[in-house]
């Protein structure tokens, strides 16, 4: 147990000053030794990032030490680096079931999405251009679409159901003669809802429109087969499945042309210039190999732990619920990510709950973004029809391979009294509940 410094306390208060409950009083009210920090660490935020797999780190290290050649060089050190990059390219291709020459390495999911969306639309020769995407996309898709709107491209943002799914018919209805690209994510990062990408890709193919999918949250966790899905472009990020940060990949189906966003020494299939991050790419390849070997077993274990965590929380805490569908599998395919649950706790600020759990050694997250001292509710949850108040009361738990039954037991032991204490501090609790939360 370490003493929580005044500086850290001030920082937390400043960064979260948009919350309606003063954090100072939250700290004082929790059983972690007054203002003492609990040094236990249980990580339930794997949709934000995952730990680097030890095997991936081991394979990376030689390319950070002795084998530091530039993969574009023709001498032996350079050719050793080139061989390592091409091996990793084959490993990532095997993960998503494509040819190695259809994989472009990037700096991560955000760059992959930007190259796919901006590159495809700007390459189109149509005088008028139209893009279809959804209201629940990650900002790495929404912001490029907004940039295209400023260039005069029209963008349709299709709605989602109350369970967080894009309806294929909504995409079909949005099609126009000038539509050049459809971009719908494979799995949502906040709710875990796996979208009907295969059905939407078929609509795009029938209309002769390119189809892109942001698969950053699904790749390496559930099966992703670009041929079976029928996508033309698909984005991935290494650090979401045990690889290093700062490296990702874009699947580009053979024959699809993209206008480069940057210019220089053209590498990566003439799509992305710059010296390859050899060590990072090697780490992504190693993580892809590990994911391929263990995916089914890991997914089933994660779903079992997640389902238990979810069911027990709902059993122990009143006025709590799941945002989105709870069905895991339909017709043999995942309908939501096996590791993700997004829960609301009425009369509790989600940010306050995240901080209170963190003080007790549990890391989870909200779907909200804090900026300029104000807390905005999740655009995903709002699009699903949640009120702003309920969206702000929501917290996401995303599990990983290292989580255990004992970890779940610890969360279950801590979360109910934590929610009760926060409700006791909340002015939003109705009169009929106040006595129960204060006892």
Please tell me whether residue 116 adopts helix, strand or coil conformation. Answer: helix
User: Do the Cβ atoms of 221 and 243 come closer than 8 Å?
Assistant: no
Element (H, E) at 169: helix 168-174
Can you tell me the distance from the alpha carbon of 421 to that of 383, in angstroms, rounded to the nearest whole number? 30
Structure tokens at 292: 């391929």
User: Do the Cβ atoms of 215 and 228 come closer than 8 Å?
Assistant: no
Cross-strand pairs, 187:
194
347 dihedral zone (left: phi>0; alpha: psi -120 to 50; beta) = left
Can you tell me the distance from the alpha carbon of 436 to that of 60, in angstroms, rounded to the nearest whole number? 55
Pairing of strands 320-322, 272-273: unpaired
Active site residue 145: no
- DSSP state string for 44-92: -BTTT--PPPHHHHHHHGGGGTT----TT--SHHHHHHHHHHHHHHHHH
**Sequence-ordered list of residues with C-beta below 8 angstroms from that of 104, at least 6 positions apart, any chain:** 112, 115, 249, 250, 251, 252, 268, 269, 271, 272
Residue for token pair 């990650």: 138
Q: What sign results for the dihedral spanned by CA atoms 44, 49, 50, 52?
A: negative
User: Do the Cβ atoms of 419 and 348 come closer than 8 Å?
Assistant: yes
Closest to 433 measured CA to CA, from 323, 320, 309: 320
Q: Identify the burial level of 361 via C-beta atoms within 10 angstroms of its C-beta, where 0-12 means exposed, 13-18 middle and 19 or more buried.
A: middle
Q: Which of 19, 32, 364, 370 is catalytic?
A: 370
Q: How far is CA 73 from CA 66, 285, 398, in A?
A: 16, 21, 42
Active site residues: 370
């Amino acid at each position: 147990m370490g003493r929580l410094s005044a500086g850290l306390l001030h920082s937390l208060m400043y960064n979260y000053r948009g919350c309606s409950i003063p954090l100072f009083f939250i700290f004082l009210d929790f059983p972690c030794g007054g203002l003492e920090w609990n040094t236990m660490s249980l990580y339930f935020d794997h949709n934000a990032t995952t730990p680097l797999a030890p095997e991936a780190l081991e394979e990376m290290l030689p390319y950070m030490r002795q084998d530091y050649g530039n993969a574009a060089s023709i001498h032996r050190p350079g050719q050793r680096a080139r061989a390592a990059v091409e091996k990793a390219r084959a490993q990532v291709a095997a993960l998503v079931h494509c040819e190695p020459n259809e994989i472009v390495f990037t700096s991560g999911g955000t760059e992959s999405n930007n190259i796919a969306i901006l590159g495809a639309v700007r390459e189109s020769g149509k005088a008028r251009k139209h893009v279809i995407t959804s209201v629940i996309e990650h900002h790495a898709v929404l912001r490029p679409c907004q940039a295209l709107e400023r260039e005069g491209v029209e963008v349709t943002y299709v709605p989602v159901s109350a369970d967080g799914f894009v309806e294929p018919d909504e995409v079909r209805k949005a099609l126009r003669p000038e539509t050049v690209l459809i971009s719908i994510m494979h799995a949502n990062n906040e709710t875990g809802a796996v979208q009907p990408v295969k059905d939407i890709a078929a609509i795009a193919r029938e209309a002769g429109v390119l189809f892109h999918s942001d698969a950053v949250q699904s790749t390496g966790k559930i099966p992703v087969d670009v041929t079976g899905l029928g996508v033309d472009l698909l984005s991935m990020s290494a650090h979401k499945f045990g690889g290093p940060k700062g490296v990702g990949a874009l699947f580009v189906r053979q024959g699809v042309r993209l206008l480069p966003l940057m210019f220089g020494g053209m590498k990566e299939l003439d799509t992305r210039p710059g010296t390859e991050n050899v060590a990072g790419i090697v780490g992504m390849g190693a993580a892809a190999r590990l994911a391929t070997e263990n995916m089914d077993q890991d997914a089933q274990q994660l779903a079992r732990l997640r389902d238990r965590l979810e069911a027990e929380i709902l059993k122990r805490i009143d006025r709590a619920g799941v945002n989105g569908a709870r069905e895991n599998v339909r017709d043999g395919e995942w309908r939501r990510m096996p590791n993700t649950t997004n829960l609301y706790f009425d009369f509790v600020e989600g940010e306050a709950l995240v901080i209170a759990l963190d003080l007790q050694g549990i890391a989870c997250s909200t779907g909200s973004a804090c900026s300029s001292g104000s807390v905005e509710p999740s655009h995903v949850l709002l699009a699903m029809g949640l009120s702003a108040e309920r969206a702000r009361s929501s917290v996401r738990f995303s599990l990983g391979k290292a989580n255990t039954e004992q970890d779940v037991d610890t969360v279950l032991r801590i979360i109910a009294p934590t929610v009760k204490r926060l409700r006791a501090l909340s002015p939003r609790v109705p009169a009929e509940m106040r006595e129960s939360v204060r006892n």
